[in-house]
Structure 1
Amino acid sequence: MAGEDLVELKFRLFDGSDIGPNKYNPTTTTVGSLKEVIVSQWPQDKANGPKTINDVKLINAGRILENNRSLAESRVPVGEFPGGVITMHVVVQPPLSDKNNEKLLANSPKNRCTCSIM
């Protein structure tokens, strides 16, 4: 496999630090496998780290990427930046499956604060 076939990615965390960069094959690497890398390489000194891949959302070019798609299927700009590193943003959001959280969401007011910036 030639080096041109690989895409170099780094993952930007909420505090501006990064995981990576590392090289991946865009046709065989799935978003789910990237999330596994993020969970396994999450810095131990950071609070609120993800426990599973379902706690992680990967964002590239303003789109949330789906776990079962490859990088090529997700339309990651492969080969558009020769020698460049593509930065994906990582959002950690644990799923809301707790009964107390469901009650809080059900009892919360439907109309929340609406603001207009002029």
Structure 2
Amino acid sequence: MSETVAAYVRSSTEGQTVRHQRDDIRDWGNREDINSDSIDWYVDFAQSGADPGREQFEDLINSMHAGAYDVVAVWEISRLARLGSTYQQFFEVAEESETIVQSQTDGSMKSVPVGAGN
């Protein structure tokens, strides 16, 4: 069975790069036999995690809500948000759409983690 996979990466400032985030997610994909060319990438550059209105982040949530992905990969959970309410929204959509969140540093999650705004 082929899984549909998205990845979300974010840099907080202009001077930061997302290369290491992308590389780690690609390495994970290779270990899981997921072709990195088949991953849909959502990238927010120079965007604070405290801003819930990040364009690519909102697009990802909308796609998840529509059931587009089996897995969303992130480098670490802090790349998703800095506000509990934003975490809450993301993980509720993931749980409702049965999307697994795969963090390269935090592991795999299938439900809203304790302390994510709930």
Q: TM-score, length-normalised on structure 1?
A: 0.26
Q: Which has the higher strand share?
A: 1
Structure of greater Rg: 1
